Each structure stands twice: as C-alpha cells, then as structure tokens.
Amino acid sequence: MQVSVAPFLFAILCLFGISRASQHNAPHFSVNNEKGRGRTLPKKDNSLVTPVVVNINFQQSLGTITSHFVGVTIDTGAVEHNWATLDFSSKKVQTLARALVPTFFRLGGTSADAMTYVLDTGRDHSDHSTIMTPAKPGFNMTAEQWVTINEFVQTVGWDFIFDFNALKRNADGSWNPDNARQLLQFSADRNYTIAGFEMGNEYDHYNNKYNTTVTPSQLAKDVVSLQSLLSEFPKYYGSFIIGPETGGIHEEYFQAFLAAGGSKVVRAASFHHYYFAGADRILSRFTDVKIMDSFKLQVDSVFNQTRSVDALLPVWLSETSSAYNGGAKGQSDRFVAGFLWLDKLGVASSKGIQTLLRQDFYGGNYGLVDTDLNPTPDFWLTVLYKRIVRGAVFNATGRHDVRVYAACANTDNFKAGSVVVYMLNPNNYTVTFDLHQFHTQHRDRYSLTAGDQDGLLSKYMALNGVKLELVHDALPHLNPAKASPGLEKMAPYSYTFLVFPDARASLCMQA
C-alpha cells in the first residue's frame, strides 16, 4: 500500500501545480507557479495569500446532528428495472450498506406514484374500476421484489421509509388505500419493520409528469387516510409519516399542505432539493460557491413556510443530490461531487434540518455505490461524516471563497468535548486557515483530495494522500493524521475534517 502512495500524491500535486517545495515551506504564502509564473499577485487577489481567519461561536448551537442526520435512498425506478445490477446478496454491497448504519433508507421517487403492488396474483381484490390510470404507464412491484428489499434492509440494519402509490385515486379524487393495505398486510404477516411512510412524490410536478393534479388540501386529507390505514396494523401503528415531498420549486404547495392539516399528521415537513439538471453537465458548477449558496435560500424559504404554520415541526430534506434527472454523467459520481455534498451537509445542519436523504445509495449517476458495486468518492465522504460529526452545530465564519463548518465530534469515536471543523477549498489555489481558537491544540486531520490523476473527475478519493479502496471487500481503516498546532494549509480542490480532541466545548460534553 505504502509503495503506491507516493506516486499518487505526486501526481495529484503535479496536477494542481503544487511543487513539493511549496508544500513544505509552510509559512511562505506566495502563490505557486500556476498563476503569474512566480510574480507577485496584483493586490486585488489578496484572498489568495492572506490566511482565512475562522471564528466559531461555541456559546450556542444552531442545530443538532443526530445519528440519523444523513440517510440514503434508492429510487423506485430501480424496482422498475428489477434492481438493475444491484445484487443484494453480494457481501460487498452488504458491507457498504452496513457502513452507513445507523441510517434511514427511503425507497421512493417519481415512479412510486404509479407503482402497483402485485403481491399475490391469485388474490387481487382491489376494485380497479375506481382507480385513476395515470397518463404515464404504471408498473408492478412483485412479491419477490418486495421481499428482497425488506430482507436486505433487515440484514444490513437500515431503517426503512417507504413511499406509497399516491396516484391510486378514487373517482372523487381521494387516495384509494386498497393496494397499500395489501402491501401492509403482506408485510405485517412477515413482521417487516418499516419505520416510516410517505404519500407519493413531488405533487408540484404532477402536471408535467402525469398530466394530473392533486391539490394541497386533498393531499392533507390523503395523509389522514394513510394515518388511519396504518392504525389498522399494530405493526405500523407507531410508524411515522413525512410529507409533502415537494420537488421544491413550487413552494406555495408546501405551505398550503401544512396549513390544510398536513402539519398535524406528519412527523416532519419534507422537501427535495437539487442544484441543477443532470443533462447540463457543467463541471464548474460543482465548485461554485454561488451554486452552494442557492441551497441556503431554498432552505430559508422552507423554514419560513414551515414556521408560519408550526413553531416546532422538524424539517427533512427527504431526497437530495447534486443534479436531478439521474445526476450529471461522469460528474455526480466523481470526486468533484463531494464539494456540493459536503457543503449541503454543512448548510443543512447549520440551518437546523433534522435529516437529509441522499439520492442515492445506488442508481443513476449519483450513487454512493456504482453500477459495478464499488464505492464512489461520496460514499467515503458520507461514511467519514457519519463517523466524525455528531451533536451540536456551531456558527463558523470564514471567507467568501471557501466554506467552513463546525460541530461536535462524534463521541462514539472521539472523547467528549471534542470539536470538528470541516472546511472546503473549492478553488484552484492553496488556502491557509487560521483557526486561532485552537492555536495550541493538536488535531486529527482527515484531508480529502482526488484519488488519482483524473483530478476533479477522479472515480477515487484519497484520505491523507492514500487512495481509498475496499480491502478484500472490507472497509480500510479510515484513520486521521495526527497533526501539530499551527496554520492549516489546504490544497486546491480539497476538503478536510479537523478534529480537536482537547477542545472541551461545553455543548459537546454530553454524550
């Protein structure tokens, strides 16, 4: 392993134009040869040479990162493709899935609305004559497919959330729960645990997708029907419902659903978010801080709408990724995707979002696991995040061209009182950070860079210069580098977690 590290590191450094010398001349902040051929920079480019002074307010918490803060999804489209290449019996897949535990797992998406559960072909008692046929043809989920996913979820220990077929509707427009009842009966008979449910997906887009509409007030009535359906089953009586699962751009739908009674039924107000369309494939957007900021505005709007109806209702981002319609090919599954993903985790936690579900574990161009069932860079980033970050979130301020977040470090892996600061340098220049509040403290450093010479488009991620790969289908050790006090220098296009075990932050003292 060691033998292969040096050439990789060298390749990465060369790629970004960093000479070995500049890496070691720590206090010397002149920008390397990539710009200006060694000349001093114009004054307006001050940001390139001046350290970023990071200030963190440890006195109050902006939110709390729980063990279930980050979850994953699989799109119902995967059922339509009979799980494509996803082999649930593969030991490797199970290892990757277990590495994310504890986690929520959502099976849902556009096609969930039009899915029919055909669990026992001999005993289909639902009255199809009353059920509206969606414009887009629906499809069947078989008993075998349902058993497969439930057995997998139980095997790996995921907490399941299932999205019901909201387009099964009666002539009067109300949701018809007959087929859902069949699914619950089948599941209860087999004692499948299902933590939560959703009623359909992105109603605010129904007109485009299904040439139909479901009003917010109808949807609020539908979740009441779902609640009463769940109460028929002791096994699911205590399961939660989240909604309204809006796609996010028609925001008035969100508030109207909550105001029409939805807020009294759902455990969390839920919405979806993507930054841009997958087909656009504009690489620079993945490292653009203006794109990162666009998410903040939407979160503010969602909180405004939620709080105008309910002062305490949690907010979940129940389906989210970089780019919609399956992600950006050759980008959303590469090292570069980590910038938007880690920033989203930082923003979501700082804004008080309780849970977000990453689209997706497998499928499209944004999977944490690729079609060959190997982990993508965002898999490693997600696992590291879950292991390192947990507890109170602190307000950290840095500079416009970088991103800095701070929270308690996970006491499962670090001593009580430890703090983690995570930083993104989405620029093609080196940035130095002055974490003056930790001037004298040792730190554990997890420095994440592209894993090979493909740079931003690398299929791999390196941790402290070592390319991350499974070792005989098991996870490698994900150990930090022990680092001394001082200024923190971040390579171009990198992100870093810094854990301060001696921080003794009072809000991080409780386990």
Among 5, 49, 118, 483, binds ligand NAG (CB under 6 A): 118
Number of CB atoms found within 10 A of residue 304's CB:
11
State the Cα–Cα distance between residues 134 and 165, nearest whole angstrom. Answer: 11
Q: Which is nearer to ligand NAG, 280 or 288 (CB)?
A: 288
In whole angstroms, the minimum distance from the beta carbon of 162 to ligand NAG comes to 16
Q: Which is nearer to ligand NAG, 4 or 193 (CB)?
A: 193
Question: What backbone phi and psi angles, to 5 degrees, belong to 111?
Answer: -80, -10
The footprint of ligand NAG on residues 280-309 (CB under 6 A) is: 297, 300-301, 304
Segment near ligand NAG (CB under 6 A); pick from 74-82, 113-121, 312-320, 339-347: 113-121
In whole angstroms, the minimum distance from the beta carbon of 35 to ligand NAG comes to 6
The footprint of ligand NAG on residues 19-58 (CB under 6 A) is: 34-35
Q: Which is nearer to ligand NAG, 65 or 463 (CB)?
A: 65
Q: Which is nearer to ligand NAG, 2 or 121 (CB)?
A: 121
Q: How many residues sit close enough to ligand NAG to count as binding (CB under 6 A)?
A: 21
- The contact pattern for ligand NAG, residues 413-442, with x = CB under 6 A and - = no contact, is ---------------x--------------
**Tokens 């190997």 correspond to what residue?**
374
In whole angstroms, the minimum distance from the beta carbon of 511 to ligand NAG comes to 26
State the Cα–Cα distance between residues 66 and 316, nearest whole angstrom. Answer: 13
In whole angstroms, the minimum distance from the beta carbon of 395 to ligand NAG comes to 4
Which amino acid, 161? I
Buried-exposed string 114-140: b where 16+ CB fall within 10 A, e elsewhere: bbbbbbeeeeeebeeeebeebeeebee
Q: Which is nearer to ligand NAG, 34 or 473 (CB)?
A: 34
State the Cα–Cα distance between residues 459 and 328, nearest whole angstrom. Answer: 14
What residues form DSSP beta bridges with 409?
389
Q: Which is nearer to ligand NAG, 284 or 479 (CB)?
A: 284
Name which of 168, 160, 147 is nearest 235 in CA terms: 160
Q: Which is nearer to ligand NAG, 193 or 510 (CB)?
A: 193
Structure tokens at 15: 């790629």
Residue 263 is classified by DSSP as H
The footprint of ligand NAG on residues 211-230 (CB under 6 A) is: 211
Name which of 343, 303, 302, 354 is nearest 321 in CA terms: 343
For 163, residues 6+ apart whose C-beta sits below 8 A from its C-beta are 76, 106, 107, 108, 109, 112, 197, 198, 199, 200, 201, 245
Inter-axis angle of helices 216-230 and 178-189, nearest 10: 30
Pairing outcome for strands 70-75 and 355-358 = parallel
State the Cα–Cα distance between residues 119 and 126, nearest whole angstrom. Answer: 12
In whole angstroms, the minimum distance from the beta carbon of 474 to ligand NAG comes to 27
Segment near ligand NAG (CB under 6 A); pick from 1-9, 19-27, 118-126, 216-224: 118-126
133 near ligand NAG, rule: CB under 6 A: no
Inter-axis angle of helices 377-388 and 337-351, nearest 10: 30
- The contact pattern for ligand NAG, residues 302-341, with x = CB under 6 A and - = no contact, is --x-------------------------------------
135 near ligand NAG, rule: CB under 6 A: yes
Structure tokens at 398: 């840095």
Name which of 193, 176, 283 is nearest 233 in CA terms: 193
In whole angstroms, the minimum distance from the beta carbon of 370 to ligand NAG comes to 28
In whole angstroms, the minimum distance from the beta carbon of 389 to ligand NAG comes to 18
252 near ligand NAG, rule: CB under 6 A: no
How far does the chain reach from its first CA to its final CA, in angstroms?
A: 36
- Per the CB < 8 A criterion, the answer to whether 103 and 70 are in contact is yes
Among 83, 139, 186, 240, binds ligand NAG (CB under 6 A): 139
- Residue 434's H or E segment, with its range, is strand 431-434
Q: Which is nearer to ligand NAG, 29 or 476 (CB)?
A: 29
397 near ligand NAG, rule: CB under 6 A: yes
What residues form DSSP beta bridges with 120?
none
233 near ligand NAG, rule: CB under 6 A: no
- Per the CB < 8 A criterion, the answer to whether 179 and 186 are in contact is no
Segment near ligand NAG (CB under 6 A); pick from 132-140, 312-320, 369-377, 450-458: 132-140
186 near ligand NAG, rule: CB under 6 A: no
In whole angstroms, the minimum distance from the beta carbon of 284 to ligand NAG comes to 8
State the Cα–Cα distance between residues 396 and 393, nearest whole angstrom. Answer: 9
124 near ligand NAG, rule: CB under 6 A: yes
- Per the CB < 8 A criterion, the answer to whether 270 and 318 are in contact is yes
Q: Would you tell me which residues interact with ligand NAG (CB under 6 A)?
A: 17, 34-35, 62, 116, 118, 121, 124, 135, 139-140, 191, 193, 211, 297, 300-301, 304, 395, 397, 428
